[in-house]
Structure 1
């Protein structure tokens, strides 16, 4: 491109390059999803079709970006773990977060129109997502990150399940239900569900209690891939793209999940 006297404006651009040889997690979150769920009358406490939409969006993004080794999500958020030696967009933070947020938003709108065609989207309230990228230095911090998200999923789902049963079946107003749950422990909420509504929380679907995990189940050894030639890296990308992606609704807190899949963090 021919230089011009206006090109000096490029000097104001700043790039944040994420540290090499560190794990990258990109988390996408729904923007204003409380209002969005109200606008489109989500079932409470969990809307199966909405969960299917967000899961399909995450799966499609993972298929399109072979550097994603693992994804975990619940409600209106998803976290994506990139391959440690990933050089996607030269690890430019702004490029990563804008690509993930915009692509995920597009997929969500596409699958919404497929799965919820009886609730057509309105331009006044479209589903959109923002994103953040965080680097983590060790395998242990990655494990603890996903443990944190799954614990958060459990806490929120137990609260919401109890809250909405008090409102829908118990006849309370939202404010009354909120006041009823102030200061309660998990055991208290379990007791309310069982004693008042005959619900054993342990029997609730695992997808609600533990969220959804996608992993690349069979992949080639990537040890030392940062030193491979461009041709070798291209071959690796093709193998990753063809690798099987498995959907799970299991425990990420115990070591068993991680010890049986060392390639996720290699």
Structure 2
């Protein structure tokens, strides 16, 4: 037994010596790109081949609240792990994570930040699939690509977010009209594309209202504006102790009103107090973080629930 152990240790020493001498030179081929300091880091994650994926898994058209809820859940998981994220913005199969300017995460190594956030998001999407698609089996693994973009000024960052939200509106108006023409108007995909070719926003709104009685302004803000995830300190509905949660908002990012309310974002302060007493219903995403049943939905009901 002792001789066998000595032999094993000798083999280990031999290979350790070889690795540290003869073969170690291959490490010189590795490169490390560090992100510029004092700049906003945006990691944008985007679904690969999600048109096919959504078809295979029977997503509702033009918007599937289950799919959007799952995207938000995966993004919240990433935010809970990485406290340097001050804001996340999601629409469709895309999410952008904004890390504060002075973020020291992984010594600002680009490959580490990009791959770790992307892998956690993707694995979370798969992990929570059954919570949102109860009766739909995951037929094959989804995949997401990711990229990092640096923005040197607050104005650049705001313009980036404005661009993504404007894109959300444009795409959602098109998709809402396109699928109305198909599902309600009986057109084929090609016929719907031809009818919408060259139309502007006003024309699409007119088609929705005149042909299908749909007032686009009444569509859910979740669809029209996307989801903004912010880290907020709220009072627990039952015991009123302060809890930090990832809270979803569906608001206009482009106007100054949003930034006047959320003054912590640009200075890089990760969290802010939030009074949710004016809302009718706590978002499902928040309830899940608080480990509460969806029966606890209104702040004015929480005291009654606590007594029961």
TM range (shorter): 0.7 to 0.9
Pick one of 209, 229, 235 that aligns with 2:224.
Answer: 209
The aligned counterpart of 1:188 is: 203
The aligned counterpart of 1:73 is: 90
Deviating above 6 A after TM superposition, structure 1's stretches of 4 or more consecutive aligned residues are none
The aligned counterpart of 1:88 is: 105
The CA distance in 1 between the partners of 2:144 and 2:194, in whole Å, is 31
Q: CA deviation at 1:4?
A: 2.8
The aligned counterpart of 1:236 is: none
Q: CA deviation at 1:50?
A: 0.6
Pick one of 77, 86, 107 that aligns with 1:60.
Answer: 77
> C-alpha offsets along residues 102-152 of structure 1, whole Å, 9 cap, x if unaligned?
111000001112211311112xx3111111111100000111111110000
Asked if 1:116 corresponds to 2:133, the answer is yes
The CA distance in 2 between the partners of 1:4 and 1:130, in whole Å, is 37
The aligned counterpart of 1:165 is: 180
The aligned counterpart of 1:38 is: 55
The CA distance in 2 between the partners of 1:144 and 1:259, in whole Å, is 16
Pick one of 124, 132, 137 that aligns with 2:147.
Answer: 132
The CA distance in 1 between the partners of 2:180 and 2:50, in whole Å, is 21
Higher relative contact order (CA 8 A, sep 6+): 1
Could you say what secondary structure the match of 2:199 adopts?
Answer: coil
The aligned counterpart of 1:47 is: 64
The CA distance in 1 between the partners of 2:62 and 2:110, in whole Å, is 35
The CA distance in 1 between the partners of 2:55 and 2:225, in whole Å, is 24
Q: CA deviation at 1:248?
A: 0.4
Pick one of 107, 117, 138 that aligns with 2:124.
Answer: 107
> C-alpha offsets along residues 27-70 of structure 1, whole Å, 9 cap, x if unaligned?
00011111100110111000111111101111111111111100
The aligned counterpart of 2:159 is: 144
Could you say what secondary structure the match of 1:263 adopts?
Answer: coil
The aligned counterpart of 2:275 is: none
CA RMSD across the alignment: 1.4
TM-score (norm 2): 0.76
The CA distance in 1 between the partners of 2:33 and 2:219, in whole Å, is 43
The aligned counterpart of 1:256 is: 257
Quick check: 2-11 or 78-87, which moved more? 2-11
Q: CA deviation at 1:170?
A: 0.4
Q: CA deviation at 1:255?
A: 1.0
Q: CA deviation at 1:262?
A: 2.6
Asked if 1:7 corresponds to 2:24, the answer is yes
The CA distance in 2 between the partners of 1:67 and 1:198, in whole Å, is 45
Q: CA deviation at 1:259?
A: 2.6
The aligned counterpart of 2:248 is: 247
